[in-house]
């Protein structure tokens, strides 16, 4: 039996957001200066009302967007220098964005093909990634033959195939039904533990945030900012039982109030 464990204690910072701020070229201040440190092995969720800058923050961590001011470090180095280190990052988007004409296997192999990884090694890594997401039997299927949940698993396998230490996920299960979403949440937690990943996960769902996270970062909008950080100090593995426990309700209630306050702030400022 797996021993219940708490999230890894503070150690090496995987991510340091240092007074990072973002103003888009049209003048929208998407993020006020934000400070956030995420330790290696944490599962951190960004939660907050629409437009509070969750995706903007995640994309800056990924190096997909430049901050207008401030700095972002991954393992103590600027994001742009990540390719020089042994650490690797993957980004999983909300939509699976698969190539419809290519098999599941070919879709998952894409990052390795782009990195010119030799075919035999690439195929072995694709097989491992498909095994991890429970799709080994569908290697030769085309995306259209798969359900929405399975397509999302392919997208996650494509993220895992580069053997990342850091997984950035922008509302990956937002478009799925509740049951599929919960199944994928549970599988993701398993992967996080097994592969000792650091995960930053964006969601609108309080329940998903409480179930998954070792820490929830609550944000508010206009301008986007961090308003609260809540540690979910509950042991892993977390089962479906956890979701009906009084501790779960306690965290969910707290975050519900906090989200309401963050949204009211946003609305008042928006209508002012």
Which residues make up the interface to ligand ATP (CB under 6 A)?
Answer: 24, 26, 28, 30, 48, 50-56, 224
Q: How far is the CB of 29 from ligand ATP (least distance, A)?
A: 8
Per the omega criterion (within 30 degrees of 0), is the bond before 223 cis?
A: yes
**How many whole angstroms separate alpha carbon 182 and alpha carbon 242?**
13
**How many whole angstroms separate alpha carbon 90 and alpha carbon 55?**
15
Nearer to ligand ATP by C-beta: 40 or 171? 171
Q: How far is the CB of 53 from ligand ATP (least distance, A)?
A: 4
Q: How far is the CB of 107 from ligand ATP (least distance, A)?
A: 25
Secondary structure of 1-39 in HEC code, one letter for each residue? CCCCECCCCCCCEEEEEEEEEEECCCCCEEEEEEEEEEE
Residue 155's alpha-carbon distances to 78, 116, 118, 140, 188, in angstroms, are 27, 20, 21, 15, 13
Nearer to ligand ATP by C-beta: 24 or 101? 24
Nearer to ligand ATP by C-beta: 75 or 173? 173
Whether the Cβ atoms of residue 173 and residue 184 lie closer than 8 Å to each other: yes
Only one residue has tokens 């923050």, namely 57
Whether the Cβ atoms of residue 150 and residue 138 lie closer than 8 Å to each other: yes
Nearer to ligand ATP by C-beta: 103 or 203? 203
Nearer to ligand ATP by C-beta: 48 or 172? 48
Nearer to ligand ATP by C-beta: 41 or 53? 53
Q: How far is the CB of 182 from ligand ATP (least distance, A)?
A: 20
Q: How far is the CB of 31 from ligand ATP (least distance, A)?
A: 7
Q: How far is the CB of 170 from ligand ATP (least distance, A)?
A: 8
Residue count of the chain: 272
């Amino acid at each position: 039996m797996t021993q219940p464990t708490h999230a890894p204690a503070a150690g090496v910072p995987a991510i340091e957001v240092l007074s990072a701020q973002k103003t888009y070229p049209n003048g929208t201040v998407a993020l006020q200066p934000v400070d956030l440190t995420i330790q290696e092995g944490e599962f951190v969720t960004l939660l907050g009302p629409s437009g509070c800058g969750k995706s903007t923050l995640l994309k800056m961590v990924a190096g997909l967007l430049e901050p207008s001011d401030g700095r972002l470090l991954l393992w103590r180095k600027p994001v742009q220098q990540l390719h020089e280190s042994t650490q690797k990052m993957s980004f999983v988007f909300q939509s699976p964005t698969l190539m419809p004409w290519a098999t599941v296997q070919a879709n998952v192999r894409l990052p390795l093909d782009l990195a010119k990884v030799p075919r035999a090694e690439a195929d072995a890594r694709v097989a491992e990634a498909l095994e991890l997401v429970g799709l080994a039997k569908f290697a030769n299927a085309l995306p259209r033959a798969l359900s929405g949940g399975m397509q999302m698993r392919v997208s996650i396998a494509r993220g895992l195939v580069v053997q990342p230490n850091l997984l950035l996920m922008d509302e990956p299960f937002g478009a799925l039904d509740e049951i599929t979403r919960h199944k994928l949440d549970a599988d993701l937690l398993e992967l996080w533990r097994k592969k000792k990943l650091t995960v930053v996960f964006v969601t609108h769902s309080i329940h998903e945030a409480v179930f998954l996270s070792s820490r929830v970062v609550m944000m508010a909008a206009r301008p986007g900012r961090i308003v609260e950080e809540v540690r979910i100090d509950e042991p892993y593995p977390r089962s479906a039982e956890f979701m009906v426990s009084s501790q779960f309700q306690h965290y969910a209630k707290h975050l519900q109030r906090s989200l309401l306050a963050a949204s009211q702030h946003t609305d008042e400022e928006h209508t002012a």
